[in-house]
Structure 1
């Protein structure tokens, strides 16, 4: 299913960006600290700000994924309910036929 592939890629991309963001932020901070352009305290604040932004992005991604899952389920559910109803009717019909044949 194409939607499943898009959903999976979105989640994986979000997780990848999250871990990449922390690593990249730490690399940038380490480089700036080596050059004396950033104090340890400023570096910690920078990494914290980057991670807060990444958390916001992950929360947004979660909302998008949740919405997509709900939409997908709502399109699948009626089909299954219709099939279940048809099967139930068929079982009832067959049960009546068996009762009829048994009583002869």
Structure 2
């Protein structure tokens, strides 16, 4: 079943929109302005990130790396992570299980 979820301002130059969700899985688009930041945080969900556009510097569990269009990676459960947007773009994140705090 398709649902329409609003795009919300997540702060720090980031907008978030849930694309689809079920109890076991959630897909979310994060649109970043250049210089936008995803503050360091952690959560129990396993996260897969796909870079749809732009350029980002990520920190995951103390390791820093840069990613661009077409790159993807997995963030393990409870790993501290965050990013800075170097060139405006969009990340498509998948979470398992669903991030109920985003609904």
Normalised TM-score (structure 2): 0.17
More strand by share: 2
Q: 1 or 2 for the larger relative contact order (CA 8 Å, sep ≥6)?
A: 2
Greater C-alpha Rg: 1
